[in-house]
C-alpha cells in the first residue's frame, strides 16, 4: 500500500508524462502536492523507487520512468483510457532526456588527420540519437560545409563497421587517420567524397579503409 502522498505523486508524474512526455520538475511536484520543500519530494521519490513504482534514468537530466501504477489508478484508466496509460502500456520517453556519450577528439572534414581518443563525455539530447552505441567527434575543417557540417560542430556518430553508398561516415584510413566523408564504391576502390567543390574526392583500396561509424546527428554551439 502506498501513502496518500506517494499515490498522488506517482499519478501526477504519470499524467504529466502522458500529456507532454516530459518529467515534471521537483518544484512542480512540490507545488502539486502542496509540500513545504523539495526534500519532501525526494523522500517520496526514493520511497516509490524502493517499492518498484519509479526509476530514475541514469545519465539523464530530470528524467523519471514509471514502472507500474497503483491498482486504483490502473482500474480508473480502464474506464477513462484518455488519461495516463495503464500499467501494461509503455509510457512515453521523457522529451528532455540527456545522454552522455564519449567525445573522441577532433576529426578532419578536409584532409585526414590522426584519429584521437579521449575520455571526455558530451551531454546530448536523447532525441538526436537512435538505437545503438554512439560517440561524438569535433569537426575540424570545411570540406563538408555543403552538407551543413561546419568547423567546430560536434558530429554524433553511431558505431558500425559497414556503410551504404551515399552515407556520411567516419572512415579510418590505414588504421591511423580518420576523416568524415560521403562513402561510395567506385569499381574496386572506395571513394570518400567531400561536400565542398574546393576539395577532390579521395580514393583508396578497400583494405585501406575501415568504417568506424555513420553520422547520426549534429550539435552546434552558438
Number of domains in the chain: 2
Check if 143 is active-site.
yes
Alpha-carbon gap, residue 181 to 108, rounded angstroms: 9
Residues 129 and 195 in one domain: yes
Residues 104 and 138 in one domain: yes
Nearest to 104 by CA among 93, 92, 116: 116
Residues 46 and 140 in one domain: no
Query: Any residues with CB less than 8 A from the CB of 70 and at least 6 apart, and which?
Result: 2, 7, 10, 11, 53
- For residue 31, how many other CB atoms are within 10 A of its CB? 12
32 lies in some domain? yes
pLDDT tens by residue, the chain, 222 residues: 678 888 888 888 888 877 777 778 888 888 888 888 877 888 888 888 888 888 877 655 557 888 888 765 444 344 444 334 434 344 444 445 678 888 887 887 665 554 555 558 888 887 777 778 888 988 988 989 999 999 989 999 999 999 999 999 999 898 888 899 999 999 999 999 999 999 999 999 999 999 999 999 898 876
27 lies in some domain? yes
The CATH code of the domain that includes 55 is 1.10.10.10
Residues 175 and 147 in one domain: yes
Q: Which of 68, 140, 143, 198 is catalytic?
A: 143
Residues 106 and 181 in one domain: yes
Per-residue b/e over 91-106, b at no fewer than 16 CB within 10 Å? bebbebbbbebbbbbb
Residues 110 and 201 in one domain: yes
The domain boundary residue, chosen from 49, 79, 109: 79
94 lies in some domain? no
Domain that holds residue 120: 99-219
Q: Which of 25, 46, 181, 198 is catalytic?
A: 181
Amino acid at each position: 500500500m502506498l501513502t496518500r502522498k506517494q499515490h498522488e505523486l506517482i499519478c501526477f508524474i504519470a499524467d504529466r508524462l502522458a500529456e507532454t512526455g516530459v518529467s515534471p520538475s521537483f518544484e512542480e511536484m512540490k507545488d502539486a502536492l502542496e509540500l513545504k520543500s523539495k526534500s519532501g519530494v525526494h523522500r517520496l521519490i526514493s520511497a516509490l523507487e524502493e517499492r518498484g513504482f519509479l526509476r530514475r534514468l541514469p545519465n539523464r537530466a530530470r528524467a523519471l520512468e514509471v514502472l507500474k501504477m497503483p491498482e486504483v489508478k490502473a482500474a480508473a484508466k480502464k474506464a477513462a483510457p484518455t488519461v495516463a496509460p495503464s500499467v501494461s502500456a509503455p509510457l512515453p520517453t521523457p522529451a528532455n532526456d540527456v545522454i552522455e556519450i564519449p567525445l573522441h577528439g577532433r576529426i578532419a572534414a578536409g584532409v585526414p588527420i590522426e584519429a584521437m581518443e579521449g575520455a571526455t563525455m558530451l551531454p546530448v539530447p536523447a532525441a538526436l540519437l537512435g538505437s545503438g552505441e554512439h560517440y561524438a567527434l569535433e569537426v575540424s575543417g570545411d570540406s563538408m560545409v555543403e552538407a551543413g557540417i561546419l568547423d567546430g560542430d560536434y558530429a554524433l556518430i553511431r558505431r558500425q563497421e559497414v556503410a551504404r553508398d551515399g552515407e556520411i561516415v567516419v572512415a579510418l584510413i590505414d588504421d591511423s587517420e580518420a576523416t568524415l566523408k560521403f562513402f561510395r564504391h567506385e569499381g574496386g576502390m572506395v571513394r570518400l567524397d567531400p561536400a565542398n567543390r574546393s576539395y577532390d574526392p579521395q580514393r583508396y583500396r578497400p583494405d585501406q579503409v575501415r568504417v568506424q561509424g555513420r553520422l547520426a546527428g549534429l550539435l552546434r554551439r552558438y
